[in-house]
Amino acid sequence: MTKTIPIYQVDAFTDKAFSGNPAAVCILDVAQTDLWMQNVAAEMNLSETAFLVPEADGYRLRWFTPLAEVALCGHATLASSHILWETGRLAQNVSAKFFTLSGVLTARLDAQKWIELNFPVKPVEQAPVPPELAQILNVTPVFTGKNQFDFVVEVENEEIVRQVAPDFQALKKLPVRGVVVTAKSSLPEFDFVSRFFAPAVGVNEDPVTGSAHCCLAHYWSHKLGKHHFNAFQASRRGGRLKLTLEGDRVLIGGQAVTVLSGELYS
C-alpha cells in the first residue's frame, strides 16, 4: 500500500503570498534516510526543505537545500513553526521546540501573530577574504569579515546592495556556505538591508535568510549601538525581519503564509 506524507509550501518573512522566502515543510512519522530527504529537497527545488520528526517534547528538525544539508536555517524553521500551529499539531499558546544541528531552537507566536525564533548569535570577525571577492561582487567593501558559515561584506550604501550582481560561478568556488552583502538602510523604517548569495549549496540568491541575521544583528549592534532592529532583505521577493539581540542569542521575528499543501507518495 502506498504511504502518503504531508508536505506544505510556506512563504516566510512575509504576510503576502508569493513574496518572502518559500520553504517546503515535510512532516514525518519516522525518520527517513539522508538520501531520501536530499532527493525530496531536490524535487521541491526551493532554497530549503525542512523535515520534522516528533521527538521527546519537540521535533527533530533538519534542513536541506537542493544540493546539501545545512546546519542552520531561519526561514524554514519559521515555516515549520507556522505549519505546526496552523494545522493544530501544536497549540498556539505553546512554543515550538526543535532539536537541530545547531542545538535546541525554539519559536513562539506573539500577540500580534508574529513568529519569534530564538537562535544562536553567529558573530562576524574582521578577517581577510579572498582578494577576488570584491571583483566577483563588483563592489568596493567598507568592511570584510567571516563568521562560522559565511563571508560578510559591508558596502557604502543601500543602492549598492540592491545592484549587486555577482559572478555565481566564481562565487561557488569560495570556501564558505555563502556571502552576505549589507549596508545601512536609506529608509527610516529599517535599520539595515542585506542580500545573501549561496551558490555553493545550490542557492544563487536566497530571498530572505534568517541565519544570516544571526550574524547581522550582532554586527549592526556594534555599528549602531542598539539591540533592536527592523531589517529588510532586498532580494527580488524581499522580506522583513524584527531582530532583538540578547547576549549570545538573537530573536528573529517574522510572519508566514501557507501557499500549498499536498502529499508525497512514498
Residues with a known catalytic role: 48
CA atoms 166, 73, 258, 46: torsion sign: positive
Cell numbers for 15, please give them.
504576510
Q: How far apart are CA 161 and CA 201, in angstroms?
A: 21
Spatial CB neighbours of 233, under 8 Å, sequence gap ≥ 6: 13, 193, 194, 195, 196, 207, 208, 209, 239, 241
Asked whether 21 and 209 are in contact (CB, 8 A), the reply is yes
* Helix ranges restricted to H, the chain: 34-44, 74-86, 133-137, 158-163, 168-171, 213-224
Residue that is written with C-alpha cell 569579515 in the block: 145
Kindly report the backbone phi and psi dihedral angles of residue 142, in degrees, each rounded to the nearest multiple of 5, phi listed first. -85, -30
